[in-house]
Amino acid sequence: MEIRKVETDKKEYLPLLLLADEQEDMIDQYLERGDMYVLEDGGVKAVCVVTDEGNGALEIKNLAVIPESQGKGYGRHMIRFVADSYRDLFKVLYVGTGDSPATVPFYEKCGFRRSHVVRNFFTDHYDHPIYEGGIQLVDMVYLKMKLQEAEMKIEKIDYEFSVCRVKDYSQTDLGSEYCFLGKTDEECSLVCITDDIPGNVIDHDDGWKAFRIQGTLDFSLIGILAKLSALMAENGIGIFAVSTYNTDYILTKKENFEKAIEVLRLAGYEIF
């Protein structure tokens, strides 16, 4: 699989572009000023056009996958490519689409969240009714994905933690300040303050310290934990990560904790 940029003869891919935007003069408004990419995998499978909309905003103007290759991950792969390629240049990635159950859920699964609506866009700008899945499209729904996180602040947590395997949670102190549970068909796991290890513990690993990203992270943000993990790995620091609804917690062995904090400080994170 290869994604390549198309610099010339963009209209060569017009039949594919028309799958996503079925009026040629609408495509003409963004095609030449936009960056165009095609995904090839034994032939062209998908096309994407993105444009600079100013103020740190990048917009997907056209994303189409040939019918026989839809549902195979090519569209998602193209979105991931765009997000990764433009992350250092733009703050937000937008996409506009009809309010259709065929497209909005797809973008939401790719990490986009609803932003705003442009009323009557399709009826005002197209010379014929646009239908998708048997539904006439009227309004343009815009969704967005944050490409750059705000300046991250790292908060150190003043406890030692243990990673435990327990028989069950009957003796777990759920009133403790920090308590992370994970249950599968194979085990009951627990990350807790070392002083709060329950009596029915089967096994445990002590000597962990933790820090967390301050605040509540938007679900549309991607790559935050990966970036922190990469920083730790580059400096030979093993981690144990726990994600909650609000944020991410990173645990390191206590002998590596101050080194980890210094790595983050040098990388530009504010520590407190």
Q: How confident is the model over 97-144, as pLDDT tens digits?
A: 998 888 999 998 888 889 899 999 999 999 999 998 888 999 999 999
What is the domain count for the chain? 2
pLDDT tens digits along 138-186 = 999 999 988 876 557 899 999 999 999 999 999 999 999 999 999 999 9
Q: The tokens 């990469």 sit on which residue?
A: 230
Which residues, including other chains, have CB under 8 Å from residue 97's CB and lie 6 or more apart?
103, 104, 107, 140, 141, 143
- Which residue, 96, 115, 146, sits at the end of a domain? 146
pLDDT tens digits along 6-37 = 999 999 999 999 999 999 999 999 999 999 99
- CATH number of the domain bearing residue 183: 3.30.2130.10
- CATH number of the domain bearing residue 57: 3.40.630.30
C-alpha distance across the termini of the chain, in Å: 44
How would residue 225 be classed by pLDDT, with cut points 50, 70 and 90?
Answer: confident
How would residue 50 be classed by pLDDT, with cut points 50, 70 and 90?
Answer: very high
In a shared domain, residues 228 and 131: no
220 has a pLDDT exceeding 70: no
- Report the chain's mean pLDDT, rounded to a whole number: 92
In a shared domain, residues 254 and 137: no
| % the chain with pLDDT above 90 | 74
pTM score > 0.85 for this model?
no
